[in-house]
Structure 1
Amino acid sequence: MEYLVTMTTHVPQGTSQAEVDDIRTREAANSLKLAERGQLLRLWRPPLKSGEWRTLGLFAAQDGARLEDVLSSMPLRVWRRDDVTPLTPHPNDPGPASGAPGAPKEFLVAFAPAALQDTTSQALRDATAAEAVSAKALAGQGHLMRLWKTPGEGHALGLWRARDAAEMQTVLDSLPLAPWLSMETTPLSEHPSDPGQVGS
């Protein structure tokens, strides 16, 4: 099973720079080991405010208890709060081997129903069928990398690539289900310990 983990770190006041540097070095080494074991799949930095220290991680574990074992093994955990979102398979997920070079910026997009919907609506049924075709085409173009279901009826999370935010919005606007969804887009920047950047 895969999990998205939002890791927020608060370094205690009075902590020396040497302590910070030491724990960050140990964190990077531990991240490499977790990646080699297939437990840490990706790391990103979301947009940060001044003074914030936050990372998004994609992890794999058999269950929540095993994930907790993984997270508690990370040196920065002593200063960190972890918010976990379980991810389950989505029928339109192109799979972990998707994505193509040429669209360097990555985005996480959270999808939720825009309002209560009449699920018997023919227009909605047609759009849902067309969404699967669109997802396959966008994966083939290197835009859609992964797609998961998240807790909540009709909620999903996608990992996307685009040249910039404008192209990303154009892609999202083209989705057949766009009129029925609210979408929250988070631009991602590289993390120095991201195992997904190796060899890319």
Structure 2
Amino acid sequence: MLYLVRMDVKLPATLAPAEADAIKAREKAYSQGLQREGRWRHLWRVVGEYANYSVFDVESNDELHTLLSQLPLFPYMQIQVTPLAQHPSAIASAITAN
């Protein structure tokens, strides 16, 4: 199942810079692992914001929830999830079916 996920990060001003850097390093390692596995298919930065749009390819709502809640930055995120389905006019399905 494909999901479009918007993640907005809001780190508290009181978070020590060294701690913020450590959290970001863990976040990068975790997200890159999921990308290598194919479960985090796309990751796009929102220009001018500390936010991203991502596409996840996972088996269920529960799997997505688990992946997102294990993000090191999760406590500092506002997340919006949109389930995706193939559009009948999309040529991508016809190309991959041949």
1:74-111: CA deviation from partner (whole Å, max 9, x where unpaired) = xxxxxxxxxxxxxxxxxxxxxxxxxxxxxxx1001001
User: Structure 2: how far apart are the matches of 1:196 and 1:181?
Assistant: 32
> Quick check: 1:124–1:177 contact (8 Å CA) kept in 2?
no
Which is richer in helix? Answer: 2
1:124 and 1:150 mapped to 2: Cα distance? 20
Partner of 2:12: 117
Q: How far is the alpha carbon of 1:160 from its aligned partner?
A: 0.7
The match for 1:176 is: 72
RCO greater where, 1 or 2, for CA within 8 Å and sep 6 or more?
Answer: 2
Residue pair 2:9, 2:73 contacting (<8 A) in 1 also: no
Identity of matched residues, % = 25
Aligned residue pairs, count: 95
From the CA coordinates, give the structure whose radius of gyration is larger.
1
What value does the CA root-mean-square deviation take over the aligned residues?
Answer: 1.9
Q: Which of 17, 23, 34 does residue 127 from structure 1 map onto?
A: 23
Q: Compute the TM-score of the two structures, normalised by the length of structure 2.
A: 0.83
Any idea what the Cα deviations from partners look like across 1:118-165, whole Å, max 9, x if unmatched? 264433211101111111110122110111111442111101111011
> Which residue identity does 2:96 align to in structure 1?
G
**Which residues of structure 1 form unaligned runs of 5+?**
1-104
Does 1:199 find its partner at 2:90?
Answer: no
Runs of 4+ in 1 over 4 A off after TM superposition: none
Residue aligned with 1:190, SS? coil
Aligned counterparts of 1:130 and 1:159: Cα–Cα separation in 2? 20
